Amino acid sequence: MATATEFLTDTVARTVTELAAGVQAAIPQILSGLIFITLAYILIRVVLAVLRRSLEQIYSDRQSLVADLFVTVVGIFMWFGVGLAFLKIVGLGDLAASLGTAVGFIALGISYALSEMIEDTVAGVYLLRDPDFEVGDRISVGSVEGTVAAIELRKSRFTLENGDTTILANRDVESKWTKRSD
């Protein structure tokens, strides 16, 4: 019969041997994953640079917020995809599938919680692209009448006749504004 010391020594030796074998078996997958991350980093940097350059040609300086928002969203999606692919490459495909599903549900909840902010942002993109709605134009929105002082992604600022500044959500402005000719 083995003593406690022999049992403990055998257990530790088997554990270390199995751990070393597992690490040795995982090294090719880890190296593949690191090569993939390096190539993905380079590719994402190039794609985002080309995208930014293209959008800067399409959008004026006034609309640079739209280009920045679009490049950021594309970058987030690309990095998320790279993260899931990396997990798959290193042998954690089940984790990648679970993570992708969980993030989808979280994104759905966040989009519902931020629906008004998203609505403001979409309306802001439309207002920034609208040639009839420019800084300096005299506009009325409901009971507010003033001069457009600034157009941002989520809100627009108006200077009233008395010098006060009113800030309105773009979702309210985009659907109800009227350009004044006076």
Number of Cβ within 10 Å of residue 46's Cβ equals: 10
47: which 2 tokens?
Answer: 């794609």
Note the pLDDT of residue 167.
Answer: 92
Query: Quick one: what percent of the chain has pLDDT higher than 70?
Result: 97
Residue 182: is its pLDDT beyond 70? Answer: no
**Greater pLDDT, 181 or 88:** 88
Mean per-residue pLDDT, 97-103: 91
What backbone phi and psi angles, to 5 degrees, belong to 129?
Answer: -90, -15
Q: Hey, what CATH topology would domain 135-179 get?
A: SH3 type barrels. (2.30.30)
Note the pLDDT of residue 152.
Answer: 87
74-84 burial code (b ≥16 CB/10 A, e <16): bbeeeeeebbb
pLDDT band for 181, please (50, 70, 90 cuts).
Answer: confident
Domain(s) labelled CATH 2.30.30.60 in the chain stretch across 135-179
